[in-house]
Amino acid sequence: MSEYDIIRHPVATEKAVKLMEEENKMLLIVDLKSTKKEIKDAVEKAFNVKVKAVNTTVTPKGKKKAYVSLSSETPAIDVATELGLT
C-alpha cells in the first residue's frame, strides 16, 4: 500500500485545530486495516515530518481516526497550512 492508500484525508474540525496548536498532533482518517507502524511510515513519507507516536480509534461510523504526534521540530499547524486546512 502506498502512503496515499493508507491516509484517506486530514480532519479540519475545531477540535483537530486545537490539537494541532496545543499538542502538536494531527488528526487523520486512515484505512481501516492499516497498523500504527504503517500509519507512521505513511505520514513521515507523505508530509516529510518526524512522527513521535500514533494512537488510533475506530468511530461508530466505522472509520479509523489516527492521532499522530509530531516531533517538536515540525509544528503540526505548519503541515496543516501546507495542506490548506487553516
pLDDT number for residue 69: 97
Looking at the 3D structure of the chain, how many domains does it have? Answer: 1
Q: For residue 52, which of 78, 25, 33, 28 has the smallest C-alpha distance?
A: 25
Assess whether pLDDT exceeds 80 at residue 1.
Answer: no
Per-residue pLDDT, averaged over 72-79, amounts to 90
Per this entry, what is the length of the chain?
Answer: 86
Q: Which phi-psi region, left, alpha or beta, contains residue 33 (left: φ > 0; alpha: ψ -120 to 50)?
A: alpha
Percent of the chain with pLDDT over 90: 81
CATH code assigned at 57: 3.30.70.330
d(CA 1, CA 12): 25
The answer to whether the beta carbons of residues 67 and 19 sit under 8 Å apart is yes
What's the pLDDT band for 45 if we cut at 50, 70, 90? very high
Tens of pLDDT, residue by residue over 19-31, are 999 999 999 999 9
State which residues form the domain around 18. Answer: 3-83
